[in-house]
Structure 1
Amino acid sequence: MSLTKRILLAMVLGLAVGILLNISRDLLAQTVNSWIDEFVIHGLFDTIGRIFVASLKLLVVPLVFISLVCGASQLGGNARMGAMAAKTLTLYMATTALAIGLALTVGHLIQPGQDIGLGEAVNFTPQEAPPLKEVVVDIFPSNPFKAMADGNMLQVIVFSLLMGIAVANCGETGKRVSAIFHDMNTVTMKMVSILMDLAPYGIFCLLAKLFSELGADAILELSKYFFTVVLVLLMHGLLIYGLLLKLLAGINPIDFFRHLKELVIFAFSTASSNATLPITLRTAEEKLGVDNRIASFTVPLGATINMDGTAIMQGVATAFIAQAYQVDIGLSGYLTVILTATLASVGTAGVPGVGLITLAMVLQQVGLPVEGIAMIIGVDRLLDMLRTAVNVTGDSMVSLVVAKSEDSWDEAVFNQRD
């Protein structure tokens, strides 16, 4: 059985087992439920699932550092670095603005919060977002080892680029160092392949645990909001990305999506762009045909700042909360939401809980009560899985467009069948 089929099977079985365990809570005796919760759900499933995610995260920093040094050193100096960075950042910011604009439009048309009875508002205290000055300063590391230990990806990217450019300009010494990094990159990618072979077991345990705890009530109560977010995610992930890929690179979107099957499943299962980063990079290089020197820059940067899925949630959530509180924010309010969420996707990239933090910032900008976030937290975990799948699809699309524009795309790799 191919790896893709094994992963799909694990996903289906995990969903089925999780739902059955959730339903069985009302049918089994209390002692049996307690035993299942302790030893199966929070014991076996939780342990294997957490080990799997930790193993993926283990590779993120070394993979980004090694791969980015390889990519920057191959540029032969910084002649193309500025143009490539400008294209990448422009595409990431533009797709984020499109995502939140689409979300606000659909949210306004469907009106998911129109019939919501608020009842008592639950207090929600978001983390304070850092000021813009500190965000800019914090991009540059004072200690690269601390940045790697803390998993601060923007700082790791900056240090890796500086080292790669230095290696490219060191003549024979640089060539020897570059060869070492390329050998290390081969070994690291082999580690990714080993983890992918074990992935079905981790995916099964992650989904079984999640759906054993996620009752249907949470979705039913917010079904209109939930399915509005899902609709916009699908529209953006399939239609917008497909259209941009065709218009900007002339590449068949169907073939593109065919190559992303495993990646999307990984992203859905882990609900983390950073944890999925090794698989995104592997997919970009080995299935999409993106040259390493492009992918090693665009993919880590995208995992850090490209949050189209999160932007969609913020757009629909803003419309939902405005409708629930019966507040008309007007056209200027919608434009403010688009601008704030787009800039915040970069400004709070290194902050935990980024989706809810940026949503709180957006709500404050347009005068909506931050407490409204409490209404959507119940279904946010499941939507986060779908958002991550859209995020990694966007990272892959931008990588492919930039590679094609930089004449660094291997069409033969892209056209090969799985």
Structure 2
Amino acid sequence: MKKMNMLSQIFIAFVLAIIFGIIFGPRMEIVQPLGDLFLRLIQFIVVPLVLASLITGITSLNNGKKLLSIGGKTISYFLVTTLVAIMIGLTVAFIISPGEGVNLELPTEETEPAEIPSMVDTILNFVPINPFESLTTGNIIQIVFIAIAFGIAIIAVGEKAKPLADFFEALAEVMYKLTGIIMKVAPIGIFGILAPIVGSYGLSILIPLLKIILAVAIACVLQLLVTYSIAVRAFGKMSPITFYRGIAPAAIFAFSTASSAGTLPITLKNTEENLGVSKEISSFVLALGATMNSDGAAIYQAVAVIFIAQFFNIELSFIQILTVIFMAVVVSIGAAGVPGAGLIMLTMVLQAVNLPLEGIAIIAAVDRILDMFRTSTNVIGDATAAVVVQQWEDKRKKPGNAKRVGNVS
């Protein structure tokens, strides 16, 4: 195993988890503590890693104009790919019609509806009241805000704040090293996470909802093969094959854990070491992407809305479809990079177009499976942004002469 690269080890663990889960079923819960321990290790490093790497990335930019330039390019890229993702999701859903012919009884138990934050509250939630509470609770959106605020302030203060900048740079290096150590046990962790999940799902629930799983999976694959491949080649000047080979460990890990934030340390490592993205770009773009870029979640929202409308025999108007597109963009920006956030965001979209919230109870049965597809898409989308923004910055510095790992002539 030591002679194999990390991608091979993770892939083998992934395949073995599926095989053992199918063979032994629910009994595979015995290995779940291995997965839980690995997730704890990842969660242990996420907060200091995001904080230190993002602050270091901002301070290394040295001036506010460069920060605005990179930030503007990154956010614009996220918005465009998210919009494309929604259109792909809607198109695939209308073609496959996942909600037609589904014969399932809704759960009879009454559940307390989740409290849905307003749009204003969602925006205000970006700004922390107590930064220490944000750090202790692991609120990634607010941690990004804290890091950006600290980074800008350090640049503004100048030489006097250099010791603080050096501290965060040293902390970032320590966290990168710690990430490398933890990644050595990633195959074991992935096996412990995935095997119990595969063992817990039976065909009795999967077969009736197979069309919605296929719709989300196909839409995500199209986003990868079409949108991201074009973006990486046309704007990132990199071969899509080189790109996907380089980001594969993070993609598989994201698929297994269903956590964009939890995958962030591995995504940083892959983009910097395998794709040639600088630390200043990767730390800024990927941390921002973990909170703002949710192309997979946007696809999920689009497919889920069509599924619920078809299940209840409700025909959506053109205005309702436009509302779905708008709301899917908005809620994907505010979605937290943790498992299960998609259902809360879906509730907001359903309310906006007056669709029955009871449909969520059906989708919830396979949400963990759908979460795996959308999270891996989110993570790959973040990596494409890092590659594209890096190339744009290289081109701005040296027009026509930017050469990096994976460039194609």
TM value normalised by structure 1: 0.90
In structure 2, distance between residues paired with 1:220 and 1:336: 31
Residue pair 2:107, 2:361 contacting (<8 A) in 1 also: yes
In structure 2, distance between residues paired with 1:270 and 1:21: 21
Q: CA deviation at 1:151?
A: 0.9
**What amino acid does structure 2 have at the position aligned with 1:185?**
A
**Map 1:19-34 → 2, pairs under 5 A:** 19-22=22-25
Match of 1:111 in 2: 97
Q: Which of 63, 83, 103 in structure 2 is aligned with 1:77?
A: 63
Q: Secondary structure at the match of 1:142?
A: coil
**What amino acid does structure 2 have at the position aligned with 1:10?**
A
**Map 1:349-368 → 2, pairs under 5 A:** 349=336, 353-368=340-355
In structure 2, distance between residues paired with 1:374 and 1:131: 22
Structure 2 residue 41 is matched with structure 1 residue 55: yes
Residue pair 2:257, 2:372 contacting (<8 A) in 1 also: yes
- After superposing the two structures, state which structure 1 stretch, 364-373 or 111-120, moved more: 111-120
Q: Secondary structure at the match of 1:97?
A: helix
**What amino acid does structure 1 have at the position aligned with 2:292?**
I
In structure 1, distance between residues paired with 2:77 and 2:60: 23
Q: Which of 2, 15, 25 in structure 2 is aligned with 1:12?
A: 15
**Map 1:265-280 → 2, pairs under 5 A:** 265-280=252-267
Deviation by residue 1:260-298 (Cα, 9 ceiling, x = unmatched): 111111111111101111111111222221222221111
In structure 2, distance between residues paired with 1:130 and 1:199: 35
Q: CA deviation at 1:95?
A: 1.4
Match of 1:32 in 2: none
Residue pair 1:263, 1:280 contacting (<8 A) in 2 also: yes
In structure 1, distance between residues paired with 2:261 and 2:311: 33
**Map 1:395-410 → 2, pairs under 5 A:** 395-407=382-394
Q: Secondary structure at the match of 1:113?
A: coil
Q: CA deviation at 1:388?
A: 0.9
Identity %, equivalent residues:
39
Residue pair 2:261, 2:338 contacting (<8 A) in 1 also: no
Q: Which of 186, 189, 196 in structure 1 is aligned with 2:183?
A: 196
Residue pair 2:294, 2:378 contacting (<8 A) in 1 also: yes
Residue pair 2:239, 2:406 contacting (<8 A) in 1 also: no
Gaps of 5+ in 2: none
Match of 1:226 in 2: 213
Structure 2 residue 52 is matched with structure 1 residue 66: yes
Deviation by residue 1:312-363 (Cα, 9 ceiling, x = unmatched): 1111111111111111112221111000111112245489842112211212
Residue pair 2:264, 2:290 contacting (<8 A) in 1 also: yes
**Map 1:1-400 → 2, pairs under 5 A:** 1-22=4-25, 37=27, 41-43=28-30, 45-120=31-106, 122=108, 125-349=112-336, 353-400=340-387
**What amino acid does structure 1 have at the position aligned with 2:293?**
N
Evaluate the alpha carbon distance shift between residue 60 and residue 351 of structure 1 in structure 2; reply closer, same or farther with a 3 A threshold.
Answer: closer
Residue pair 1:118, 1:324 contacting (<8 A) in 2 also: no
Q: CA deviation at 1:251?
A: 2.5
Q: Secondary structure at the match of 1:76?
A: coil
Residue pair 2:262, 2:338 contacting (<8 A) in 1 also: no
Deviation by residue 1:167-209 (Cα, 9 ceiling, x = unmatched): 2333433333323322222111011111111111111111111
TM value normalised by structure 2: 0.92
Gaps of 5+ in 1: 26-36
**What amino acid does structure 2 have at the position aligned with 1:230?**
A
In structure 2, distance between residues paired with 1:395 and 1:180: 27
Deviation by residue 1:126-179 (Cα, 9 ceiling, x = unmatched): 422212222232222232211101111122112212222232333433333323
Aligned-CA RMSD value: 2.2
In structure 1, distance between residues paired with 2:372 and 2:85: 17
In structure 2, distance between residues paired with 1:166 and 1:359: 37
In structure 2, distance between residues paired with 1:396 and 1:350: 15
Instruction: Name the count of aligned residue pairs.
Output: 399
Q: Secondary structure at the match of 1:260?
A: helix
